[in-house]
Amino acid sequence: MQKPAKQRSRSRFKWVALAAGIAGLVILSRMVDVQSWLQSTLTWVNDLGAWGAIAFMLIYSLATVLFLPGSLLTLGGGALFGVVLGSIYVFIAAVIGATLSFLIGRYAARDWVARQIAGNSKFQAVDRAIAQQGFKIVFLTRLSPIFPFNLLNYGLGITQVSLKDYVLGFLGMIPGTIMYVYIGSLAGNLAMLGMDQTASPEAQQIQWITRIVGFIATVIVTVYVTRIAQKALEESVS
């Protein structure tokens, strides 16, 4: 009897520590001038020459884990490396950082979540249904800008979505990544990143196309998740 109690206490501590760590990072990002710091970091990366790409991907991955906003880094990828290489570097770095966040969420909190829903057949059914349709759900949420990228990485970790479906779902990131990298490439230099690169008609057109695609994806994923959840609940009740 004593051992399970210790395990429960250890699990609660991991859950509380994870939540406190995430909350602390969010608060810290609000207090610190993150934009200026990231812009200085991009300037440092630019001075590294051939090693700049590796440094950029490492910094981007770490920023994803630490809940730092990635939009400026994505724009910086376009300004530093151009559209093609910038998109490749940003995509690789985002996948690495998001996968690390997913694994942290899974191994730090998944056991606790599983125990909480152990006696609730309805929640178990919904969790299984989400796991069965994992790729579609992750893909659609990555297409939509409504779902917060950094928070979603940790959130999906506490579901039964497989790591394979989670990683494959990153294909939905490609349109948005290319759009932001392209807008960053319009800046011409890092000093211009703090200004509005969306003023050009070409950039505005691309933004509107991406927003429309994101809106459609948001509607689809909302309806889709609602349907599979309802179906899972009906099967559980029956």
- pLDDT tens-digit readout, 191-225: 555 545 445 566 666 666 666 766 676 677 667 66
Mean pLDDT computed over 102-120: 73
Evaluate whether 159 touches 130 at the Cβ level (below 8 Å): yes
pLDDT tens sequence across 44-73: 888 888 899 999 999 999 999 888 877 888
Q: What is the model's pTM?
A: 0.71
Alpha helices for the chain (secondary structure H): 2-31, 34-46, 52-65, 71-116, 121-132, 134-143, 149-157, 163-168, 174-187, 201-237
Percentage of residues of the chain with pLDDT beyond 90: 16
Give the residue among 14, 38, 44 at the shortest CA–CA distance from 104. 14
* pLDDT score of 112 more than 70: no
Does 33 or 60 have the greater pLDDT score? 60
Looking at residue 226, its pLDDT comes to: 66
